[in-house]
Structure 1
């Protein structure tokens, strides 16, 4: 699934210009770099989310996603892959679907983190409704991240509801 198909979050109804988000965020050699400005554009965050807060959410998301994939990564490295992009996979829009799914998992995880932490200090009914909407959005984003991880690993998905 491509980045543009992820649930998007508009942190506020304003149009505050986006700040300079700085350099790409690097991880180990295996994983691709993340461009904070690309995350900001793909997930529709304007300048009300500071560059520092955005980078912090992305770094934590990379740590979480890479942690989830640690065992899978070791198997792929043992099989000869030096980078995620080296693994044989379908190419869509000039990029490996595995790279796209990894990025989707990182973006959705970071956006869920930002949505959970974005709260208004306003105690009006509208503010309380906005907080509930953000909780729903965070849940949807975490589900998107989980789906991207499972698709990347080639593991089936199953939804179970307890009665």
Structure 2
């Protein structure tokens, strides 16, 4: 229930690899509406793990952009909103969705009085992982899904 008290998010920067944008724990917590009672270190670990996984999946994409003369993702041409280009927005979305999926087990274990079944379900977790995968596929220049003959 809303108490009128602002949530104290952790303003902690996450330094990325130099190509992909740096992220912030506070942005992740607020944009993905994480329960305030999940330990900030736990959230940070999930965010670091998600960044490592997404960066690994996008190694070839990063190499392609670097080969085209773009030293950072924010220099890649594309639509922009508030100074953030599409590639950086997609990256952030993929990482945040994957990190939140990783934290789904924490939602049920933080000892809240009220449960949120929609926030705690396997279906929600799978949806977040699918969201991340679709965004990563688009960043790679692939369609949402492909069909291959076996």
Q: Pick the TM interval, shorter chain.
A: 0.7 to 0.9
The yes-or-no answer on 1:26 pairing with 2:34 is no
Cα separation, 2, equivalents of 1:65 and 1:145: 9
TM-score (structure 2 length as normaliser): 0.82
Confirm or deny: 8 A CA contact 2:9 2:36 kept in the other structure: no
Structure 2 segments unaligned to the other structure (5+ residues): none
Confirm or deny: 8 A CA contact 1:21 1:37 kept in the other structure: yes
Query: Which residue in 2 is equivalent to 1:41?
Result: 30
RMSD across aligned C-alpha pairs, in angstroms?
2.7
Confirm or deny: 8 A CA contact 2:21 2:88 kept in the other structure: yes
1:1-163 matched pairs, under 5 angstroms: 18-120=7-109, 130=117, 133-158=120-145
TM-score (structure 1 length as normaliser): 0.76
Structure 1 segments unaligned to the other structure (5+ residues): 1-12
Q: Which of 1 and 2 has higher RCO (CA within 8 Å, sep 6+)?
A: 1
Deviation at 1:131, TM superposition (A): 9.0
Matched positions, count: 144
1:133–1:55 Cα change, 3 Å: closer
